[in-house]
Amino acid sequence: MKTRFIFNPHSGHNRRRPAFAQTIRDFIARHGIEADFWTTEGPGHATALAAQAVEQGYGVVVAVGGDGTMNEVAQALIDAPTALALVPCGSGNGLALHLGVPLAAPRALSLATGLGSRIVAIDTGRANGKPFFNAMGLGLDAEVSHRFNRLTRRGLPAYARIAVGALRSLHGETCTIVGAGHRETIDALLIAVANSDQYGNNARIAPGARVDDGQLDLVAIRPVGLIGAVGLGARLFLGTIDQSPHVRRLRGVRFQIERRAAGLIHTDGEIHATGPVVLVEVNPRSLRVLLPVASPVAVPVTRPLAATLALHSV
């Protein structure tokens, strides 16, 4: 099995441990893995490297970075036989946490070798053609991501400070949501469409959501003010945000979100300028991911792991 490691030196923890790249190279050599190692040089480079790996018949591509790195790598693997493995090094690591991928680097690296793991097929999403794998959003969601991406020092405390600042400057917007069998107009502070259950750091925006159910979960939050937002923030981590009377939740395969003007959206934390209409759709079982045997994701690929990987070594 040929494996490609794609390392983002600017992701979260990687900035603070420059020797980690050599640690991975040493791991590859020590375990005799048939692999190469690449360091990204800028936006889009991870996607290009992953696409090249697919063309050259690699069995696994390992994304070593945060949710942005994961998104770039996974874009090239949609509907491809090559599997994605994660070594989570970001500030949130939402998809990794949802999938049960170890956050400890040695365990994540061992998983990437195929030992004690299996390949599962998970759903992916698109928002106006932009792929996402964990969650997308607009309103406060997008504004917080936009501000957060400018920071040099990240983490949950920084995210909370950014969220409070953005909350003071935003007052919601009127949006019409079409999907799940009905049309509804709502004054929304934010609208998130989730594939997994969380943003990251176990902040569950869509409790109970799954990446293997063929559906997406839309969560719309009405303006609540700063005090109300504190309560909703607590609910995020308690896994009860959808029980708030300020929250509207829908589940479906396709949503059209109509707002009055063009604006920002985010896909897995990456910002894009879009028009007033945002079309969000699910692509069921379109990404293969290497996960621990005990992962909560239940949908396997059609072949056993060993047979699947053997195909890529031919």
Q: Is a pLDDT exceeding 70 seen at residue 219? A: yes
The pLDDT confidence band at residue 158, using thresholds 50, 70 and 90, is low
Q: Is a pLDDT exceeding 70 seen at residue 235? A: yes
Q: Is a pLDDT exceeding 60 seen at residue 311? A: no
- Quote the mean pLDDT of the chain: 87
**Average pLDDT, stretch 70-75?**
97
- Top-ranked range on mean pLDDT: pick from 41-55, 133-147, 171-185, 291-305: 41-55
What pLDDT does residue 309 have?
A: 37
Query: Residue 286 half-sphere exposure, CB side, CA atoms within 13 Å?
Result: 20
252-262 confidence digits (pLDDT tens): 999 999 999 99
The pLDDT confidence band at residue 132, using thresholds 50, 70 and 90, is very high
Q: Is a pLDDT exceeding 50 seen at residue 108? A: yes
**Average pLDDT, stretch 267-275?**
94
Domains recognised in the chain with CATH numbers = 3-123+286-312 (3.40.50.10330), 130-282 (2.60.200.40)
142-156 confidence digits (pLDDT tens): 887 777 666 556 556
Token pair belonging to 165: 């600042």
CB 46 within 8 A of CB 6: yes
Percentage of residues in the chain with pLDDT exceeding 70?
85
**Average pLDDT, stretch 109-123?**
87
Ranges of H-type helices in the chain: 20-30, 45-55, 67-75, 94-99, 105-112, 140-148, 156-169, 225-238, 305-312
Contacts of 222 (CB under 8 A, 6+ apart): 172, 186, 187, 188, 189, 246, 247, 248
Q: Is a pLDDT exceeding 50 seen at residue 312? A: no
Token pair belonging to 214: 């063929």
Rounded Cα–Cα distance for residues 2 and 259 (Å): 46
pTM as predicted: 0.88
